[in-house]
Structure 1
C-alpha cells in the first residue's frame, strides 16, 4: 500500500472522528438544554402554584360573612363614621400602632369630632396593620381585629379614640397581649362584654384585617396616616397649606359651600354632640410613619 493511500485513509478517519465528536457535542448540548428546560418548566409550575395559593389565600376573605357589621364598599373594608349624607368625605388610613397616627389623632380629634357632629363630614377609616410586618409583631393585627369587633356592635369610634389615647410605644408590642385590648374596652360604655372578649380572643375578623391590609398595599399609599379630603391628600398639607385644626375646618367649609349638611345618627351621635368634644387641640406633627 502506498504512502499516499495511507495518508488518505488516515485523513478520512480523522474527518469521521471529527464529525462524530461534533455530533456528540451537539447531543450533549441538546441533553443539557433539555435538562435546563425541564428545570425551568418545574420552576414555572412552582411559581404558578405559589401564585394560585397566594390568590387563594387572598380570595378566602368573604365580605358577606367575614366583615364587621356596618362596613361599606364593595368588599366591606371601610368603616364609616358620621352622617351618610355629609357633603364631604375624609378618608383615613391608620395603623393602630403608628405613632404619627397618634399625633394626628391627638391633634385633630376634637376638630374632627366637631365637624362630624355638625354633619359636615363623614370619616371613612381603613384600619391597616403593616407595622407588624416590619417587627414581626402582632399588636397591629390584634388591635385592628378588636376595632372590627367594636365596629360590629356600633362602638368603633369610641374604642378607636380610646386606643389612640392609650397607644403603647411603637417599639413595645403591648397589644400582642389581647387582654390589654380587652381591658381598654372598659372605657367604652357597652363594649366590655363576654361577646367582645370572645371576638378579640378568637380573632373573629382576622380575614377582614388581612384583606384591609392587602387593599392598602394595592392603594399606592405607603405611609400612615394617609388622610384625604374628598380624594385630595390633606396630611401633612392640603393644596400647599399646612394642616391645623383651623385650616382643616376652613378647607371643609370651603368644600361644603352651598351644600346641605348631613344628619348624624348612631351610638356616637350624643357623644359627638357633647360640648367637651369641641375643644380644639394643638396642631399635629407632620411626620409620617
Structure 2
C-alpha cells in the first residue's frame, strides 16, 4: 500500500513538473515575441527606438488579468468574431487595420505621430480603420493594465466614444513598467476627458469587466495570426509598419499610399473617390 501511494505521489509530482515546464516555455515565448515588438522602430516616424523591456525574471499574466465568463462583444464591433472596433465610413476605398496594446510604448509613439493624419483621412471618407486590441505587455511583464484598458475602451465603444477614449488612453499612457492602467479608478478618471463618457453605465461596465472575455479572445486571435508585435499596421492587407516597399511610414506617406489605393480602385470601378466627390 505504501509503495502504491508513493507511486501515485510520484506521478502527481511528474504531472505538476510537466505542467510547470509547459508554462515556463509559454512565458519564454511570450517574452521573446515582446522583445522584438518594435526593434525596427529606429528612425521610423523620426522617433527614437522603442523596444519592449522585460525583466529577466518576468513571468506570465497575473491571476488578476485572467478573463473568464461569456464573450460579450462591444456594440458595433465588426469583422470575424466581432473583434474589430471601427472608425471611419464603411464605404471608404481603403482600410487600415491596427493591432494595439494600450501599455505598448511603440503603439503610443505610432498613435501620437499618426493620429491627426488618420483622423483627417477618416473624416474625409478616404479611409476606414479597424482597431484590434491585444494584451501582450500583460503577458510579458505581468500585470493587467492591457486587459483593463482594453475592456474600458470596449466600454467606450458601447457609448459610441471609442476613438476619443482610445486617443486619451494613448496620450496618458504610463511608463511600460508601471501598471497604472490596472486601476479601474484611473481608467474612469480618464473618461472624464471625453465629453459624455463618464457615466454610471460606463463605470459599471469598467468595474464589472463586461468585455474581459472578448478582450482575451481578441488577444488569442492576435497570437494565432503570428504577428511580430504591436503595433501591427496593415493598409488594405499589406504591412506598412515600420515601412512599405522600402518607404518609412510617415503622415505624408500614409496620405500618398491611401491616395494611390483610391486612384487604383477608381480605375477598376469607375467610381470617383470620396475626396474627389
TM-score for both structures, normalised by structure 1: 0.69
- Separation in structure 1 between the aligned mates of residue 222 and residue 70 of structure 2, nearest angstrom: 15
Q: 1:260 to 1:128 in 2, by over 3 A?
A: farther
> CA offset at residue 130 of structure 1?
1.2
Unaligned runs of 5+ in 1: 1-34, 48-56, 264-289
Corresponding residue for residue 103 of structure 1 = 109
Task: Give the conservation status (yes or no) of the 8 Å contact 1:87–1:260.
Answer: no
Partner SS state of residue 130, structure 2:
strand
- Separation in structure 2 between the aligned mates of residue 171 and residue 60 of structure 1, nearest angstrom: 28
- Separation in structure 2 between the aligned mates of residue 59 and residue 174 of structure 1, nearest angstrom: 22
1:256 matches 2:262: yes
TM-score for both structures, normalised by structure 2: 0.72
Aligned residues: 211
- Separation in structure 2 between the aligned mates of residue 58 and residue 141 of structure 1, nearest angstrom: 8
Corresponding residue for residue 164 of structure 1 = 170
Counting only pairs closer than 5 Å after superposition, residues 61-80 of structure 1 correspond to structure 2 as 61-62=70-71, 66-80=72-86
- Separation in structure 1 between the aligned mates of residue 163 and residue 121 of structure 2, nearest angstrom: 14
User: CA deviation digits over 1:154-200, x for unaligned, max 9?
Assistant: 10000000111111110111111110100000110110101101111
Q: 1:209 to 1:90 in 2, by over 3 A?
A: same
> CA offset at residue 202 of structure 1?
0.8
Corresponding residue for residue 92 of structure 2 = 86
- Separation in structure 2 between the aligned mates of residue 244 and residue 121 of structure 1, nearest angstrom: 16
Corresponding residue for residue 161 of structure 2 = 155
1:142 matches 2:148: yes
> CA offset at residue 222 of structure 1?
2.4
Corresponding residue for residue 135 of structure 2 = 129
Partner SS state of residue 83, structure 2:
coil
User: CA deviation digits over 1:18-40, x for unaligned, max 9?
Assistant: xxxxxxxxxxxxxxxxx9xxx8x
Task: Give the conservation status (yes or no) of the 8 Å contact 1:118–1:261.
Answer: no
Q: 1:261 to 1:146 in 2, by over 3 A?
A: farther
Partner SS state of residue 176, structure 2:
coil
Partner SS state of residue 74, structure 2:
coil
Corresponding residue for residue 229 of structure 1 = 235
Partner SS state of residue 198, structure 2:
coil
Query: Larger RCO: Structure 1 or Structure 2 (Cα < 8 Å, ≥ 6 residues apart)?
Result: 1
User: CA deviation digits over 1:63-100, x for unaligned, max 9?
Assistant: xxx10000012311110100000000000000001000
Q: 1:71 to 1:260 in 2, by over 3 A?
A: farther
Partner SS state of residue 70, structure 1:
coil
> CA offset at residue 134 of structure 1?
1.2
**RMSD between superposed Cα atoms in Å:** 2.4
- Separation in structure 2 between the aligned mates of residue 229 and residue 109 of structure 1, nearest angstrom: 15
Which of structure 1's runs of 4+ aligned residues deviate more than 6 A? 57-60
Counting only pairs closer than 5 Å after superposition, residues 108-119 of structure 1 correspond to structure 2 as 108-119=114-125
The structure 2 residue matched to 1:192, chosen from 195, 198, 214, is 198
Unaligned runs of 5+ in 2: 1-6, 20-65
Task: Give the conservation status (yes or no) of the 8 Å contact 2:68–2:213.
Answer: no
Task: Give the conservation status (yes or no) of the 8 Å contact 2:191–2:197.
Answer: yes
Partner SS state of residue 75, structure 1:
helix
- Separation in structure 1 between the aligned mates of residue 111 and residue 136 of structure 2, nearest angstrom: 18
